Structure 1
Amino acid sequence: MMFIFPLLFIVSFIMSLREIIRGNKDGMLLFLIFGLSMYTTAMSVAFSLGLKDLIPVFQFFKELMIFSVLGLNIMSLTRKPRFHVLDYMILAFFLYSLLYALAPIGEQSFINRLMAFKSMSFFVLVYFSGRFLDLRNIYVNKYFNYIMILTIAAGVVLIGEYLLQTHLQTMTGYAEYSYYFFNFEPSGSYGLTTTFESEGGYKRFASFFANPLEHAAATLLALAFIMALYTRDDNKLVLTPIGMTALAATFISITLALSRAPFASYFVMIYFYALLTRKKLITNIIHIGFGLVAAYVAYLMTRFEDTASGIMEVVVNTVDFSNPSSVGHLVEWIQGIMAMIESPLGLGLGTSGRVAGSLGENIGGENQFIIIGVQAGVIAMFLYLFIYLNFIRLGIKWLPYLKGKERKICMAVLFMKIGFFIPLLTSEVESSSYISYMNWFFSGMMMTIIMSQGTAPYQESAAEISSPKPNIPATA
């Protein structure tokens, strides 16, 4: 039965490639949604089936897809594109980090530097794949509904895991695959990694995603698309039965993934959604709920020795940063900050993050911004932060002026950026292909929308390029 995962991975790739050959370059989203979401599970099962020699080929599918779409998009441009200041900033980040990959900076080999460069900066190519896409013939609702289907399927698998109290990854060859390709030895109580367990003896489930952290981040992504798909131009939320089922699946997923940062982000997203769409009932409920939870946690902390069991122990130890996970974050942050103070221009690529972890030489991981800063210095870190925060600013600025599918894309990107911000402080979010590719591909599409408002695409004046003004479309 496990063969279904590599089969879906391959079939989604073939279907996407067929659509791209037919000229429908947005067909790449089929692979991003149905292929990359279960990428690690598909590779693990393929490894367990004895296909380890084919796995490097399968692993290259995602890069091949991006290179193909980006190349075709560039060749199909009929006019010279004009860029927003963020486009230049993103290009600057790519070129700056490329310098660190090519120059002999740090102690890592050239190959390891290239691998770290890909992990840190490949999102730029994904972004421009979406940035140069012609949005006129894209059926946005179709792909958003595919995400609803994926979310419900993840919830079904998750419920099965929870009822059986068994991680899917124990049946896919996850541990063997991770050790063979990434040198990650099994750890924790379940023969996987420590990310699959939480303080208090609770299992953390990942459904068919790579691990509970990616599962939780994918849930935030799904919530963003649910908000965008079912919110009308007049800000009314109209959920269909599929939408309600998907929303329920997100709540089940974020709860059973037991990841603190994404769990907090889940409600932060709902809160900002209520503020931006002027839903006072939701904001009032959240205010009251937050007050009650804060009062209850304060009560628990005064009686901790009497109540220190199960989930209450997790909550209290999270708040006072006394649990091993929170302490681990603090230690990694301090190490990373100290490394940046000592070497503000960076220690070189491959000294922090996923690649460094596989080499056993990680410094200051568990924070996307610090991981970038340790490797390429504070200039790269602040450049990435500038880019990220300005997408949030632009989303808030433009959302009231957009209609239809343009508004859906803008809203989805805005809430993805808001939702991922807290997890960025506690993990390397860009290391997840599914999360990173979906985030930045749609970010590129959003920028194309912004730059086309009020004028023909790619024909803005110099003043509009640096700071385009919101213009209400004629169809509004």
Structure 2
Amino acid sequence: MIAQILFVFALLGYAVLLYYTLKAMVFKGKWEYVVYFLAAYLPFHITFLSIVFQATNSTIPVTLFQLAKDLMVIVSVFLFVLYNRKIFDYPFRLHRVDWLILSFLGLAFLFLLLPLGDTGFVNKALYFKNLLIPALVYFVGRNTVFDELEVKRLFQVIFVIAVSAFAVNLLEGLINTHLQNYTGYALFNQVVNNMEPSGNFGLSWTFETQAITKRFASFFSDPLEMASSVLLGFAAGLIWFLTSKREDSFPYILVMLCSMGSLFFSSSRAAFGAFFIMIFFIAVIFKLNRLILFGFSLVIFFIVFVIFFASEDFYYFVLDTLTFQNASSVGHVLEWLNALESMIENPFGVGLAMSGNSGSVSDEARIGGENQFLIYGVQMGFLGMFLYILLLSYSIIRSIRVFRLTENVMSARIAFTAAAVKTGLLLPLFTANAELYTYVSWISWWMVGYAMNEYSKIRNNNV
């Protein structure tokens, strides 16, 4: 009964969102509105697919819905071309971030064609698709011009996602049960992703700590994705708090508190580290000495708590994590060593779909997989890894520059959020295939693209 109710509500919500988005895109020429669809749907993507499979027991509708999000981005790009009839007169002005994305994508396309690796062309094509779509999302953002209300709506979607995720976390904690136990998550993974249920709660090891306590994911695919995604909500809430009147600040404080609350429910060590990195980054950008002091105080408080007040299990859990003796940490190190060994033996790469946790990467062919930088390094060599590092670096640097130079408050908020999130994600990128977290990855790439659009305007005005 619960499965049928979930299916009806999920399908109804998806249909309404899809209808209004396509209506605006196709009939009103608002091709940019695809970002609203992505921001509202991507957090629920795996949960929605699980519910669909649980209700239909068929992979056909699951496959269609899996492709739908990619098709929406492609349709958006197609409509951009269609509604710009003088497309060849369109003023494309490329700068370093654009060139880096094109270079990275071009290198990936070359590896798609090269007869390298132990995987078939279909798997390589699917992996290339996973690289192409975020680049197209960046392209959409790069050519989007929103007014103040349209930008505000996007942030409102992000705020609702952050608050809703924490509300579901509270419900999960109250009944001491994962939402995924009701959505058919384990069955979906078993049949569609060929992943047998594991762990003590019948889902996967990701949903529990080493002390066999529950880690919650709300409506995200797993606790790690939620932990990385709430960084987006916190950064967005903070910039609106810092750039709004104090009498209007309560909603943004609520968003930040909910984001921090979800972070605790996820029990992700990398995300906690990423959160502190982002806090210090924000403090440096704004020159907020009190925020820096607050961050240091939290670190000292945590150290004192672990040494003098924490339980023995928690003390050794932290100690083993820091010394890489924790089972999870050891697993990361082994994956990194395997990837580094492959890169040393094959500095020019071994081919696409040969590393990482993407569905197109088979377990038999997989080399490494828990470090986004090394994943690209294994597949596309040192050149691919360095292009990705440069892309992230310039995305952050240029977004900060836009934040400091633009006179448009909304553009400044987007640029700041993009820079803060990309900086905060640096640590999770070391321990996971974090670009697969489509919500935070795609929305932050859209924001980088939007910021680069503003950067072009600033640069041209200064010429």
Normalising by structure 2, we get a TM-score of 0.92
User: Deviation at 1:10?
Assistant: 3.1
2:352, 2:380 within 8 Å by CA — same for their partners in 1? yes
Partner of 1:108: 119
For residues 407-422 of structure 1, what are the structure 2 equivalents within 5 Å? Answer: 407-422=412-427
1:9, 1:36 within 8 Å by CA — same for their partners in 2? no
1:157, 1:208 within 8 Å by CA — same for their partners in 2? yes
* 3-state SS in 2 of match to 1:200: coil
Distance 2:63 2:146 in 1: 33
Single out whichever of 426-435 and 335-344 deviates more from structure 2.
426-435
User: Deviation at 1:172?
Assistant: 0.5
Distance 1:9 1:446 in 2: 29
1:354 aligns to 2:361 (yes or no): no
* 3-state SS in 2 of match to 1:56: helix
User: Deviation at 1:112?
Assistant: 0.9
Q: Once the two structures are superposed, what CA deviation does each residue of 1:326-358 show, in whole Å capped at 9, x if it has no partner?
A: 010011011101100000111111111123654
2:403, 2:411 within 8 Å by CA — same for their partners in 1? no
* 3-state SS in 1 of match to 2:425: helix
Partner of 2:221: 210
- In structure 1, runs of 5+ residues without a counterpart are 465-476
Partner of 2:383: 379
User: Deviation at 1:313?
Assistant: 3.5
Structure number having the greater helix percentage: 2
Distance 1:293 1:158 in 2: 23
For residues 282-431 of structure 1, what are the structure 2 equivalents within 5 Å? Answer: 282-297=291-306, 299=307, 307-309=311-313, 311-355=314-358, 358-403=362-407, 404-431=409-436
For residues 68-217 of structure 1, what are the structure 2 equivalents within 5 Å? Answer: 68-75=75-82, 76=84, 77=87, 78-136=89-147, 139-217=150-228
User: Deviation at 1:250?
Assistant: 0.6
Distance 1:34 1:361 in 2: 35
Single out whichever of 312-321 and 130-139 deviates more from structure 2.
130-139
2:139, 2:446 within 8 Å by CA — same for their partners in 1? yes
Q: Once the two structures are superposed, what CA deviation does each residue of 1:371-402 show, in whole Å capped at 9, x if it has no partner?
A: 11111111011000000011111223332222
Partner of 2:283: 274
Q: Once the two structures are superposed, what CA deviation does each residue of 1:139-174 show, in whole Å capped at 9, x if it has no partner?
A: 211110121111111111110001111011111011
Q: Once the two structures are superposed, what CA deviation does each residue of 1:60-101 show, in whole Å capped at 9, x if it has no partner?
A: 111111111122224425523110122111101101101111
Cα 1:341–1:6 change in 2 (3 A) is farther
Amino acid at match of 2:185: Y
User: Deviation at 1:11?
Assistant: 2.4
Partner of 1:49: 55
User: Deviation at 1:360?
Assistant: 4.0
Amino acid at match of 1:196: F
Aligned match of 1:26 in 28, 32, 37? 32
Distance 2:323 2:133 in 1: 37
Partner of 1:262: 271
Cα 1:245–1:275 change in 2 (3 A) is same
User: Deviation at 1:295?
Assistant: 4.9
Single out whichever of 33-42 and 131-140 deviates more from structure 2.
131-140
Distance 1:7 1:179 in 2: 26
2:206, 2:222 within 8 Å by CA — same for their partners in 1? yes
Cα 1:431–1:319 change in 2 (3 A) is same
Q: Once the two structures are superposed, what CA deviation does each residue of 1:403-438 show, in whole Å capped at 9, x if it has no partner?
A: 311101111101111111110000011112222211
2:336, 2:370 within 8 Å by CA — same for their partners in 1? yes
Partner of 1:440: 445
Aligned residues: 450
Q: Once the two structures are superposed, what CA deviation does each residue of 1:276-305 show, in whole Å capped at 9, x if it has no partner?
A: 2222222112223323434554x46xx99x
Distance 2:247 2:137 in 1: 32
User: Deviation at 1:13?
Assistant: 2.0
User: Deviation at 1:225?
Assistant: 1.3
Q: Once the two structures are superposed, what CA deviation does each residue of 1:12-63 show, in whole Å capped at 9, x if it has no partner?
A: 2222111112122232122112211100000100001116321211111111
Normalising by structure 1, we get a TM-score of 0.89
2:25, 2:32 within 8 Å by CA — same for their partners in 1? yes
CA RMSD of aligned residues (A): 2.1
Amino acid at match of 1:106: G
Distance 1:85 1:243 in 2: 34
Partner of 1:471: none
2:402, 2:451 within 8 Å by CA — same for their partners in 1? no
* 3-state SS in 1 of match to 2:263: helix
1:141, 1:229 within 8 Å by CA — same for their partners in 2? no
Distance 1:245 1:232 in 2: 16
Cα 1:66–1:81 change in 2 (3 A) is same
